[in-house]
Structure 1
């Protein structure tokens, strides 16, 4: 393995009442990483103590962010007195939970180089729950910083919550100036990216908010906005966008991939996959790299059974991974060529919900994967 080692990390961890065949005391809680070479999936297994409920479409533990030093930020249910002895099940429906009042918490799981054990931190509670899709970990020298964007009430400002492993155990809060073009528009919270010393908050219906972490902590902090490429904006809260769209960093550049349909010469809608690269964040200029018909990739693909977007390869900007039934498939979208495929070992969510929301490329130091 090299310093550029990466894995495909599933964002919903598996849950077990015991690890390594031994019941665990609360003081000795551990997690286990099962790491594989892409395109095989890798996953984290956590103790039932951190996720006591059956999983459901609106209630599941979720790895919101992970950094190179082996720290995972996991949003889950609040701690309970006694872990429950249940199987790792998933209810294929919503329970109707209100996210504003859900009894949830953020945990940090830190992998060590001495085995499968991890240090576990419970972040202090805050008045309102931050959507996990708006949470980001930043590696800041000898400490790790948490940034969470609160977008439930936004007119001219949004709230930034900050917490650090190197500070006292409390939250810092700042109001950030919000771009006027987004006033009163619900934010999609489709994930965060730390790139080029900035945090990028993604809404797959309209674009990306971004800011420098240290600048945002000042009293005059503000957010900037980059719209998606021309013609890609959709109404707020358009459903299932994470099946058709994805933003990621590849070869040092922010890239955006989209599955959509274009009208062909005979007026027939043709499914295509397109890729853009952000070349100027100040002006919001994107360069379109390709627009490839799916029939070039799969000549027998049924138009109503298109794959779902999984992720963009972190090192090769032309390679995108897709979910196709029980498989994860790597495709060179510029050349229209399938490169590799592998049985998808992602346990949850159920197959119909597989999308870019539930996997992420995790770049990690080699020594943290040794022995997994």
Structure 2
């Protein structure tokens, strides 16, 4: 019997961008795998929607999700080649923006993308919200609250799918002069709720002809000073809908009378009220001391807030050391734990804005894919390696893997039923699957055969990526795939992500290269006063730049050499550029960065 499909998904905010439009099925503008939480669903889009290269400064992002199956995507359309001209009755201006703005409403049910007209009208994506029409099924509205600091009026810029154009509605702005942090917009009870995690919420009905903004303060004692923890609060706070009510989750400087760090959840039971009710609080020490936390083997340290369960307000999800764990905070128990995978950002920068708790429409929850034109892939839970039918799992009920080793029918990534006999143990029975390859450039989509040696896939990757490393290796999760082994032997699933890396072969020892080439790195130049001076040549600039990049890359990974740098052991020089040949194992702590930088300066 087929297992029930999840009614909700944890959606990563940053989608995967394919290398070519043709990598998607014909007629589709997007693709999406929907694994059961706590695994993260990743949206996949073609380069025609995001034509640029995904970097830490430029990346597409899902700004809002709706239970109707709609997603609001921000995806810039490349560098701007001229000034941006805005011509609205209430706003006429010309300004320079680095990129051409782009916003899309995605319909996951039909795999279609609608570009919003005149995206230059939008001032800040953090104040942009999406809401389905409560009165007219199939219609929606995108709205941005545009306020001017110090003014008592604001513009509500609205795009209605019914009208098909932007309309500006004048509203009274009820707050004093203070910047309103762009911490996202929530759709609830037929209204949009603009969130400032340090101050308050603003809400109104954007469908009204004359909307009225109403202020909902945060719970007593939770308001902060202006710009306090600016850019960090989404690691410790969130406002979201759970169990049909608006919830405020807080762990920022939240300690009990004994000084222990704790998390608290408040409820706004009535959307017309301004009174929050404290549902529960729990210290992290109480959670760490429970047997369910000890069973997962993670360290006793404060995690980063991810989201609150959309239907069960007792369960809150956290990021911790590459894991996404669900905790029943009221019971102080870990109920789910899984290694998570996001397109971006690095683990040290994760926060609530990089994941969405998305309640799925019936068309995506149904086990009968025939009724749904959107070809989603429902990824089953991997089978638990520690489960023995007679003895059970060592992790007990807190294990997030499947304990179903019996005979059952399930659906593969194409929606067809396959029968898994008692000897399959839930392993993928497909002969050919689709995998996504991350290699530093645009993500590739590749069809691979599960029972062929992996070296055939690697040869294809060398051709597709034009990768001329002397050797490459691929990783699935934490496992390095051996070229002579099959993908099936590693439990590779349909629509999973495989990482491609290159090993550095050859290269020159660092100190030998410097000794042999330091004269080439400098040139003698004559100054205007007739004196002579030394300057870095192009070779020297490239060498120093690559060396500094190696240091900053290590620091970004929260690693350090603690000032004990062995130049020949840790670095090699390939084609005049410094490469890390052996990564340090020490964590970045205390004054270790200063010690490393001091060694770098002494060398230079």
Same-fold status (TM-score > 0.5) = yes
- Provide the rounded CA distance (Å) in 1 between the counterparts of 2:16 and 2:179: 31
The 3 A distance-change label for structure 1 pair 302 and 23 is closer
Match of 2:167 in 1: 172
Asked if 1 retains the 8 angstrom alpha-carbon contact of 2:109 and 2:363, the reply is no
Asked if 1 retains the 8 angstrom alpha-carbon contact of 2:128 and 2:142, the reply is yes
Residues 173-212 of structure 1 correspond to what in structure 2 (within 5 A)?
173-179=168-174, 182-212=175-205
Match of 2:454 in 1: none
Asked if 2 retains the 8 angstrom alpha-carbon contact of 1:73 and 1:107, the reply is yes
Please list every run of 5 or more consecutive structure 2 residues that lacks an aligned counterpart in the other structure. Answer: 81-94, 370-375, 378-604
**Offset from partner CA, 1:93-152 (integer Å, 9 cap, x none):** xxxxx9966421211222235xxxx22211111554332222122212232211111235
Greater displacement, 151-160 / 194-203: 151-160
Please list every run of 5 or more consecutive structure 1 residues that lacks an aligned counterpart in the other structure. Answer: 82-97
Match of 2:13 in 1: 11
* Pair 1:162-2:154 in alignment: no
- Provide the rounded CA distance (Å) in 1 between the counterparts of 2:53 and 2:354: 17
Match of 1:247 in 2: 239
Q: Secondary structure of the residue that 2:168 maps to in structure 1?
A: strand
**Offset from partner CA, 1:197-228 (integer Å, 9 cap, x none):** 1111111111211111222x32xx32001111
Match of 2:43 in 1: 44
Cα root mean square deviation, aligned = 2.7
Asked if 2 retains the 8 angstrom alpha-carbon contact of 1:308 and 1:323, the reply is yes
Q: Secondary structure of the residue that 1:78 maps to in structure 2?
A: coil
Q: Normalising by structure 2, what TM-score?
A: 0.52
* Pair 1:261-2:267 in alignment: no
**Of the two structures, which has the highest relative contact order with CA contacts closer than 8 Å and spacing of 6 or more?**
1
- Provide the rounded CA distance (Å) in 1 between the counterparts of 2:23 and 2:98: 36
The 3 A distance-change label for structure 1 pair 186 and 58 is farther
Q: Secondary structure of the residue that 2:48 maps to in structure 1?
A: helix
Asked if 2 retains the 8 angstrom alpha-carbon contact of 1:257 and 1:273, the reply is yes
- Provide the rounded CA distance (Å) in 2 between the counterparts of 1:22 and 1:145: 28
Match of 2:224 in 1: 234
Greater displacement, 245-254 / 294-303: 294-303
Asked if 1 retains the 8 angstrom alpha-carbon contact of 2:238 and 2:352, the reply is yes
Q: Secondary structure of the residue that 1:148 maps to in structure 2?
A: strand
The 3 A distance-change label for structure 1 pair 302 and 328 is closer
**Offset from partner CA, 1:139-186 (integer Å, 9 cap, x none):** 122322111112354511221111122224x2100121111xx22211
* Pair 1:308-2:282 in alignment: no
Q: Which has the larger radius of gyration?
A: 2
The 3 A distance-change label for structure 1 pair 54 and 336 is same
CA-CA distance at 1:59 after TM superposition: 2.5
Asked if 2 retains the 8 angstrom alpha-carbon contact of 1:251 and 1:317, the reply is yes
- Provide the rounded CA distance (Å) in 2 between the counterparts of 1:146 and 1:294: 39
| Count, aligned residues | 339
- Provide the rounded CA distance (Å) in 2 between the counterparts of 1:345 and 1:104: 27
CA-CA distance at 1:70 after TM superposition: 2.1
The 3 A distance-change label for structure 1 pair 32 and 209 is same
Match of 2:328 in 1: 332
CA-CA distance at 1:283 after TM superposition: 4.2
Match of 2:600 in 1: none
Match of 2:31 in 1: 32
- Provide the rounded CA distance (Å) in 2 between the counterparts of 1:14 and 1:126: 22
**Offset from partner CA, 1:27-68 (integer Å, 9 cap, x none):** x56211111111111011111222233334442211111222
CA-CA distance at 1:78 after TM superposition: 2.2
Of the three residues 340, 343, 347, the one matched with 2:343 is 347
Q: Normalising by structure 1, what TM-score?
A: 0.83
